[in-house]
A and B are shown apart, each in its own frame.
Chain A
Amino acid sequence: MKSIKYVTGIALLSVSLISNAGVVSVTAHSRANCGGFNESITWHLGHAYWWRVESHHFLSVSDIRPHHILNTGTNYTWRAAAYHATEGYSSRGDHWYVAGYHFYYPNGREILDTTTLAVDCGLDGGWWDH
């Protein structure tokens, strides 16, 4: 019981310390050409789930196959981040295109919760290509 109160206290404290993004619900995004990184991330602060994120990185939006793929593997975590440093420098003319595939595994189910696409560093990297 003591440990439960301790964990709950930490969870509540961490929630109160960091406001907004990914705090009250599960959200996902991709970002590209962020001054040195490309990424696809799923997260929910203080709440762990079985997650896997694949981030497909294309050299250009006109490519059909990704140049490379980052896969977080299936992990129990509050933040599944497929993060690639040392690429995506818009200042040197990079035009990476990032597609994120956000998988969720509640009680053995296999859910592709969402797909996120990005050509820039905004946090609005949802799917726009309907």
Chain B
Amino acid sequence: MRKKFIVALLFPIFSLNAAENLDSANMAKVAKERAEWTKQYFAKQGAPVPGGGVTVLPERQMSEYNTFKTQRAKERADIKKYGYIKKFSPQIQSLLNFKEVSKNQFVAKSSNPSNEGLRHSINEIEMAYNFKGVPAHAVTTMLGFAPSVSYVKGEGWAGAMQFFEKAGLGNCSYRENNLMFSHGAAVIPEEEVTKDINEKVTVAIITGQKGSGFLYSIDWYDNSYFRELKCANEKYDQSIMNSVLELAREIDNNN
């Protein structure tokens, strides 16, 4: 009787352990099935699917076309009239005033690896891969590095953002997103695409307004990385955009 009582007490514990072992043995299968379910779920939305790489589509076929069509029409009208999208953005002010904005944002080398604060060197960030960034000869003054995208447990950061000053261009940021670790994906409207950066899918846009400055932004995409280079300058000048494009090509060649 006593034996039966002990067995009855232990049975749930043994069952739990058995279930855990079973889960462990089947974890890869479960992860694969879950990933497949997730891909189908987002594909039904027409949204980018994890690990889906880069897709170029007519904008009318994009899942959020109705959300952005009025905004996009305004942006196109601005570009036609001014050469840029007329808009105030705190991002421009942050970059123009980066030295002031960033001075209290640097963290100690010994900080927790998942800490998102600024560092003086990329070597102070626990990266999941070798971040090469902007070639040293293209940088006038290095301003700092920040972890970006997301922190991958056991690996490190899936991306980083480099801040620097470039003579003639102003203060710039370069952000890289490593898709092997982020599992990112992109759907780009074909109406916006050029192949300016080494024949890769590229989108180049100037945003800003007189009196508050301009942001020269270039995003380029392939199936391994999403990259973005932004330079803030008080002036609007198409020749600045040409120089930023040239710098983006140089960064791409360096990576």
A binds B: yes
Q: How far is the CA of A19 from the CA of B105 in the complex (A)?
A: 6
Number of interface residues of A (CB under 8 A): 56
Residue from the list B38, B94, B150, B185 in contact with A127, Cβ < 8 A: B150
Report which residue of A64, A106, A107 has the largest number of chain B beta carbons within 10 angstroms of its beta carbon.
Answer: A107
Q: Is the CB of B107 within 8 A of A114?
A: no
Instruction: Please encode chain A, from 117 to 130, with 1 for each CB lying within 8 Å of some chain B CB and 0 for all others.
Output: 00000111111111
Residues of A within 8 A of B187 (CB): 109-111
Tell me which residues from 37 to 72 in chain B have a Cβ below 8 Å from any Cβ of chain A. 37-38, 42, 47-50, 52, 59, 62-65, 67-68, 71-72
| A interface list, Cβ under 8 A from B | 1, 4, 7-8, 11-12, 15-16, 19-29, 46-48, 50, 56, 60-65, 74, 99, 101-103, 105-116, 122-130
Report A-chain residues with C-beta under 8 Å of the C-beta of B153: 122, 124-126, 128
Knowing A109-B188, A111-B184, the reply to whether A24 touches B149 (Cβ < 8 A) is no
- Cα distance A20–B163 in the bound complex, in angstroms: 16
Let me know if A127 and B211 touch, CB within 8 A.
no
Can you add 14 more A-B contacts, CB < 8 Å, to A112-B184, A115-B182? A24-B146, A25-B116, A26-B175, A64-B33, A109-B187, A109-B203, A114-B184, A115-B50, A127-B150, A127-B152, A127-B182, A128-B155, A130-B180, A130-B181
What is the minimal beta-carbon distance from B248 to any residue of chain A, in angstroms? 16
Q: How far is the CA of A130 from the CA of B32 in the complex (A)?
A: 11
A26 to chain B, nearest CB (A): 6
- Give every chain B residue within 8 A of A64 (Cβ-Cβ): 30, 33-34, 37
